[in-house]
Amino acid sequence: MQEPNSSISSFKQFLLKILLPLILIIGAGGYVFNYLFEQQIVFKSQGCGAYKVNRILYTTAPDEIPIFGSSRAEGGLLPDSIGKNYFNYGISATKYNVTLFFLEQECMKKKNTPWILLNLDLNGLEYGPGDLSNYIPNSGSEPVRALLDSYYMAYFRIPFIRYYGCFETYLRSYMNDKLELKKVNNKGASIEKKHHAQRAIC
């Protein structure tokens, strides 16, 4: 039978030898991994929703004509086939409030061009943020928090942990961008290869 003192010293030992070092290792390692993952994967794939949200928040290209909308925009409008300065911000499964968010961010920028291409249809006239992984890397931004509203989770602010269950989503986006197995990617647009070939013939 253990004495209470030995129980306390045992707990201290557990705390100092296992729990605290474990938290430190995961915290430090996770922070580094989080940084590398965001810089090398998430923000390196133009087709990724998180990249698009980041781009609309923090990048200003005065001559860029943005294309906003959902998957119909993303998979239907190829920037290079329209003109030189287009970028497709379409994100799959987004609703009107997300398009509105993009519009608001765009309207705050100083631009040389008044043009914005907007792809709206009846399916988009619902309310909801769509896939939350589109916002997690930018969840520190006030407009994103306002957009997410009740969908915002406190753990979105914890590096590394916040991506639990989402790493695969970003990796898939990245691989789709780089490998182009089934889709052709062009400045944020992502179009099925067979459709792309048909359009080229037209």
Residues contributing to the site for other proteins (CB under 8 A): 1-2, 4, 6-8, 10-11, 13-14, 17-18, 21-22, 25-26, 29-30, 33, 160-161, 163-168, 171-172, 175, 181
- Residue 104 and residue 85: Cα distance in Å, rounded? 20
Q: Which is nearer to other proteins, 21 or 62 (CB)?
A: 21
- Residue 84 and residue 91: Cα distance in Å, rounded? 21
Q: Which is nearer to other proteins, 17 or 109 (CB)?
A: 17
Q: Measured from the CB of residue 163, what is the shortest distance to other proteins in angstroms?
A: 8
Give the H/E segment covering residue 118: strand 117-119
Residue 37 is classified by DSSP as H
- Residue 144 and residue 97: Cα distance in Å, rounded? 12
Q: Measured from the CB of residue 179, what is the shortest distance to other proteins in angstroms?
A: 9
Q: Is 129:147 a contact under the CB 8 Å cutoff?
A: yes
Q: Which is nearer to other proteins, 126 or 168 (CB)?
A: 168
Q: Measured from the CB of residue 133, what is the shortest distance to other proteins in angstroms?
A: 10
Q: Measured from the CB of residue 168, what is the shortest distance to other proteins in angstroms?
A: 7
Q: Is 78:199 a contact under the CB 8 Å cutoff?
A: yes
Distances (CA, A) of 18 to 39, 42, 90, 113: 31, 32, 46, 58
Q: Which is nearer to other proteins, 57 or 166 (CB)?
A: 166
Q: Which is nearer to other proteins, 73 or 132 (CB)?
A: 132
Q: Measured from the CB of residue 130, what is the shortest distance to other proteins in angstroms?
A: 16
Can you read off the two tokens belonging to residue 174? 């990245």
Residue pointed to by tokens 């970028």: 87
